[in-house]
Amino acid sequence: MSVPPPRLFFALVPDENCLRYLEAQQNHLKRCGWQRYGKFTPEESLHLTMRFLGPVSEEMLPPLMDAVRAVGNSNKPFDYEVRKPILFPRVSRAKVVAAQVAPEFRLKQLARALDQAALSVGLPANEFPFRPHITLARLKGSASRPNLPSLGGQVSVTADRVVLFASDLTPEGPIYRELASFALGTSTGAGEAGF
């Protein structure tokens, strides 16, 4: 039996300052009893998904990495804002508690460029529109929940690289492995992919 290709995605990784902000939001939710409604995302798994790719064969990786390297070269680092938690995708059908991310022009521009890179190597079109967020917790079922508590505030984060991750599904939840990193605004940019 052959091993299926890994499920890949492109993401931005929060810096230390943002991780402390996200951790404070998670801790506040836990103090308010929200651990009974779902499973919290471990700190090392917090990320902003820019483009889900799905299963990608090993043959597709070199042209995909070349295309994303070109995206990195043509996009300079920029700042974006991470804001208070929300129920996502909407309150009535929430699947996760997520930190809002302001849909700034440069963020949307980078998402479009990554989407074009994926399409250019023959990967399927994205099923969902880009709605930037960082998952803080995955919710269980659709049981009624109290209003979402929040500490409020926001934090500015610098996007300076795009990371290619593999998602390994396990009974305990997904495990993410960094395969490559693409610096923004430079003529160099990728580590080697490894499965």
pLDDT value for 194: 44
pLDDT value for 149: 84
Q: Where are the beta strands (DSSP E) in the chain?
A: 7-12, 38-40, 48-55, 78-88, 96-101, 133-139, 155-159, 161-168, 175-183
pLDDT value for 1: 53
Helix (H/G/I), strand (E/B), else coil: 183:
strand
- Give the residue among 107, 105, 86 at the shortest CA–CA distance from 12: 107
Q: Encode the chain (195 residues) as per-residue pLDDT tens digits.
A: 566 778 999 999 999 999 999 999 999 999 999 989 999 999 999 999 999 999 998 899 999 999 999 999 999 999 999 999 999 988 878 899 999 999 899 999 999 999 999 999 999 998 889 999 999 999 987 667 778 887 788 999 999 999 999 998 877 778 899 999 999 997 654 444 444
- Give the residue among 193, 8, 15 at the shortest CA–CA distance from 114: 8
Burial class (CB in 10 A: 0-12, 13-18, 19+), 126: middle
**For the whole prediction, is pTM greater than 0.95?**
no
Which architecture characterizes domain 7-183 according to CATH? Alpha-Beta Complex (3.90)
Residue 77 CB coordination number (10 Å): 13
Burial class (CB in 10 A: 0-12, 13-18, 19+), 1: exposed
Take residue 16 and report the two structure tokens written for it: 């230390």
User: What HEC string does 22-51 produce?
Assistant: HHHHHHHHHHCCHHHHEEECCHHHCCEEEE
11 contacts 50 by C-beta, under 8 angstroms: yes
pLDDT value for 186: 76
Residues contacting 30, CB < 8 A, separation 6+: 40
Domain ranges of the chain: 7-183
Look-up: residue for tokens 């605004």?
185
- DSSP annotation of 95 reads -
Cα angle 48, 51, 54; round to 5:
120
Take residue 164 and report the two structure tokens written for it: 């290619």
